[in-house]
Amino acid sequence: MLDDLGAEVAAELGDSAVYQRLDVREPDEWAAAVATCTDRFGGVNVLVNNAAVLDVGAIADTDPDVVRRVVMVNQVGPYLGIQAVIGAMREAGGGSIVNVASIDAIEGSNGVAAYTSSKWGMRGLTKAAAIELGMYAIRVNNVCPGGGSTEMVEPFVAAAMERLKDRTERLPDRPQRPFHRSADLDDIANAILWLATDESSCVSGIDLTVDGAFTAGKVEPGAPFS
């Protein structure tokens, strides 16, 4: 758990922040978090659903309990979060909900079926919630990063490299990134911030990819402007 780190960051931010531990799978903990925000800051205007877990493995080899954990955190968690803030946002006259998905919610990839399917589910939730909550001036959008923090994938990197080092066949070329880099944390945070503020007051139900055109298509080597 990262309780100490969370408390440390909140302390650095001062009176503008408070740390509270939240298991997104538990409705009671969501209710407590909303109550804390209401008591400390007078209400809830913005929710960012960012909690997620990753599993790397073939569909045939993945334990059902692993799938359930991924879905509970990545898909059910945001659902419960949206449920928890509806009342507070209606009372405030509206609000913005930003769901943080992934470019894996735009396309598929081998080895991450549980994660990918949970993020596609988040996209569906975003669309449905945008339609259902629009009457209350509550906007719901999806950010789909291609990059960001490496902490989620680090536990799987060593195992992947171990599997690959004994392979003799040539691996398929990876698609090239038009920007020649992944999105960093500032890129993603700025996209979330834009959707959270009135700068995007008429934007709802969208999938905002932050991936340097990675999911727009592929670069064809040798073609003009490649």
* CATH assignment at residue 135: 3.40.50.720
Lowest mean per-residue pLDDT among 9-23, 32-46, 161-175: 161-175
In this structure, the chain runs to a length of 226
The distance of Cα 29 from the centroid of its chain, to the nearest Å, equals: 19
pLDDT confidence of residue 29: 97
Q: Tell me the per-residue pLDDT of 12-25, one tens digit each, with 9 for 90 and over.
A: 999 999 999 999 99
Q: Where are the alpha helices (DSSP H) in the chain?
A: 3-13, 27-41, 64-71, 77-92, 113-133, 154-165, 185-196
Q: What's the average model confidence in pLDDT over 26-54?
A: 95
Confidence of residue 225 (pLDDT cuts 50, 70, 90): low
pTM of the model: 0.87
What residue numbers bound the domain in which 186 lies?
22-216
Comparing C-alpha atoms, which of 153, 170, 128, 133 is closest to residue 54?
153
Residue at 7 is within a domain: no
Residue at 148 is within a domain: yes
pLDDT confidence of residue 217: 77
Confidence of residue 158 (pLDDT cuts 50, 70, 90): low
Residue at 224 is within a domain: no
115 given a catalytic annotation = yes
Active-site pick, 19, 79, 115, 136: 115
Residue type, 17: A
pLDDT confidence of residue 160: 58
Q: Tell me the per-residue pLDDT of 117-154, one tens digit each, with 9 for 90 and over.
A: 999 999 999 999 999 999 999 999 999 998 777 776 67
Residue at 8 is within a domain: no
Residue at 205 is within a domain: yes
Residue at 10 is within a domain: no
Q: What's the average model confidence in pLDDT over 105-113?
A: 89
* CB-CB contact of 117 with 104 (8 Å): no
Residue at 211 is within a domain: yes
